[in-house]
Chains A and B, each alone.
Chain A
Amino acid sequence: MNKITNNKAWFLVLPVFLIVAISAIIPLMTVVNYSVQDIFDPQTRFFVGTEWFKQVLEDTRLHDALVRQIIYTGSILAIEIPLGIAIALTLPRKGWGVSACMVLLALPLLIPWNVVGTIWQIFGRADIGLGGYVIRSLGISYNYSQNPMDAWITVVVMDVWHWTSLVVLLCYAGLRSIPDAYYQAAKIDGASNWAVFRFIQLPKMQSVLVIGVLLRFMDSFMIYTEPFVLTGGGPGNSTTFLSQYLTRMAVGQFDLGPAAAFSIIYFLIILLVCWVFYTVVMNAGKREEQ
């Protein structure tokens, strides 16, 4: 076969190249640029090597924020994934209830993030908020702006309220794709509900669950708006997560060098965790196959 050489084909690649360059590579390189230099103005700059990275890695307040971030992401994953599966299993399979449930579930996902923060900020207030008032009138002392534990619970509950629907919708889609014959076959075998879940529903949901966990991990690891609106990172620093700390560093204190260095580390952490998780899950799937 004769290959036809046509250099015009490069023009077809050009749009993709430009989009990737503008959307990803150029901004990222700017950050890299800042992370290795001390820049005062466009003319005055000094190369500092890895100094900013060292400074960031030794920052104990950053360590605290990272630990808080890990606990936060861990707890919302531990709540949202099982809860999402459980709700998906109880949803109706046909009839008018399906569309009703879908609309209700999609509602929290449609609300802008800072509106979610505002809603919970007001809802949880002990003086005028319905939620806060009810909890107080039950005799439980609750004040998210003063008690770190209350602030934590509120932030976690808010995220569960906001994002569990996403897991539910993903799982529901996975469940809907299981042919009815599977359930009949299990019924004929006399399999228990647990066995049906463990050996039919869960394996069939595996791929959507991987996507669900990845999305919820990345999103919660980068959470900024809702806690910022709700607690502003307080009381003290008790609900200051990585994004907020980064913003404070870059915008509040104008430490652009360390902020850039930290941005890169932040990005690498998310990339690394996602990659490890994905590889482990996919390999586990393969090992099971062998």
Chain B
Amino acid sequence: MTLKLENISKIVGAETHIDDVSITLEPGSFNVLLGRTQAGKTTLMRIMAGLEPPTKGHIFVDGTDVTGMAVQKRNVAMVYQQFINYPSMNVYDNIASPLKLQGMAKAEIERRVKSTAELMHIEHLLDRLPQELSGGQQQRTAMARAMVKDCTLLLLDEPLVNLDYKLREELRAEIPNLLAERDTIVVYATTEPMEALLLGGKCAVMHQGCMTQFGPTTQVYHNPACVETGLIFSDPPINLVDAEVRDGNLFLASGHQVALQGHLAGLDRGKHTIGVRANHLSVKNPGSHAIAMQGQVELAEITGSETFVHVHFNDVSWVIQEEGVHNPRLGEAITFYVDPKRLFAFGVNNQLEAAPPVALQNGKAA
């Protein structure tokens, strides 16, 4: 089935939760809904499911208008951030519950529950109650419940947020495989850019109720259509600085000058916003083409394999992502380098004007 949202808006009281969203989801596609908390991801999913009617706009399934159709008739399944299972039923009955309500034959139910449980690696837990399971197992049960019926639309609302790191990694790695070779449209909401990239598929970026961009995930990552998308789809958020083109050169507000070459050649005269991702900044000098910048260390976050150095200069705060453990002193002056070939340029309307070539975006600076 193809799901098409047409000019969907949701207004509650004086607040606009969803602002004129249009999107078409292909059968069998994996779609990531990326946005910060409160961006409207959950509301949009609830509208897709039919749990809430939109204030304006229409929803089409294979060309048929289903706006206002009750959720029970839509054949959707949803997995939530909290682990939602029937507390008094064991895992088997939990997984079987949607099938029982459909009135399926007992033998068929058993076959399906067993195969889904095997797929989710919980076949040995079938007679346990949800509260006797670990968080990961509870969420696997909830996912099995959602996957056991042949739904046409599967909505996953930040399903891994409440799991601890290890379990999250484990389940995230499995999800794309679990859902491959299905006709189901999958929509997966997340706040984490890394999760979106790991899951692949297509990505829709949400900001304050608007959908800022929709396309293949890596393409959106490489070409963020606007500043907001760049900020949302980078972790840490993309570093920004005001800039102006005059006399054939790009002058950054930080006082640096960049020649208009390569992908930047087409920039018009006037004001721009320049963005650079943290992983494209380096404290090592990558060569003579790089611009050297000076700043003061505000904070250093060490994750183990990487260190995030927050620097401050000329009223701008940037983050440098550096491999390995570094321990700069706070307030220390630091020199770091940026390669002009890796700069993003946005116009005064915040729309993307120039993105670095993909080959240069991949890989680390230096």
Is B101 touching A199 in the complex (CB atoms < 8 A)?
A: no
In the complex, which residues 181-209 of chain A have their Cβ closer than 8 Å to any Cβ of chain B?
181-182, 184-185, 187-191, 195, 199-200, 202-204
* Interface size of B in residues (CB-CB distance below 8 Å): 24
- Cα distance, A199 to B51, chains bound together (Å): 20
Tell me the minimal C-beta distance from A194 to chain B in angstroms.
12
**Given A203-B88, A289-B131, A189:B98 Cβ within 8 A:** yes
Complexed CA–CA distance, A262 and B193 (Å): 73
Query: Interface on chain A toward B: helix, strand, loop, or mixed SS?
Result: helix
A185–B101 CB distance below 8 A: no
CB-contact partner of A184 in B51, B128, B129, under 8 A = B51
Instruction: Tell me which of B72, B78, B88, B132 contacts A185 (CB under 8 A).
Output: B78
Tell whether, in the assembled complex, residue A204 and residue B84 are in contact, meaning their CB atoms are under 8 Å apart.
Answer: no
Q: Which of B80-118 contact A (CB under 8 A)?
A: 80-82, 84, 86-89, 97-98, 101-102
Q: How far is the CA of A187 from the CA of B74 in the complex (A)?
A: 11
Q: Are B129 and A204 in contact (CB under 8 A)?
A: no
Q: Is the CB of A179 within 8 A of B82?
A: yes
Q: Decide yes or no whether B77 CB sits under 8 A from chain A.
A: yes
**Complex: how many Å from CA A181 to CA B157?**
11
Given the known interface contacts A187-B71, A188-B78, the answer about A182 and B84 at a Cβ–Cβ threshold of 8 Å is yes
Interface size of A in residues (CB-CB distance below 8 Å): 18
Q: How far is the CA of A191 from the CA of B131 in the complex (A)?
A: 21
Q: Report chain A residues within 8 Å CB of B46.
A: 184
**Chain B interface helix/strand/loop/mixed:** mixed
Neighbouring B residues of A59 by C-beta, 8 Å: none
| A288 interface residue per 8 A CB criterion | yes
Complex interface: chain B residues within 8 A of A199 (CB):
86-89, 97
Q: Which partner residue on chain A sits nearest B88 by CB separation?
A: A203
Asked whether, in the complex, the Cβ of A188 is within 8 Å of the Cβ of B49, the reply is: yes
Cβ–Cβ contact B51 & A200, under 8 A:
no
Find out whether the CB atom of B76 lies under 8 angstroms from the CB atom of A188: yes
Considering the chains assembled together, what is the distance between the CA atoms of A182 and B80 in angstroms? 9
Task: Give me the 3 closest cross-chain CB pairs, A-B, nearest first.
Answer: A203-B88, A190-B72, A181-B80
A–B complex contacts, Cβ < 8 Å, 23 sampled: A184-B46, A184-B78, A184-B80, A187-B51, A187-B71, A187-B72, A188-B72, A188-B77, A189-B97, A189-B101, A190-B72, A190-B102, A191-B97, A195-B101, A199-B88, A199-B97, A200-B86, A200-B87, A203-B86, A203-B87, A288-B88, A289-B128, A289-B132
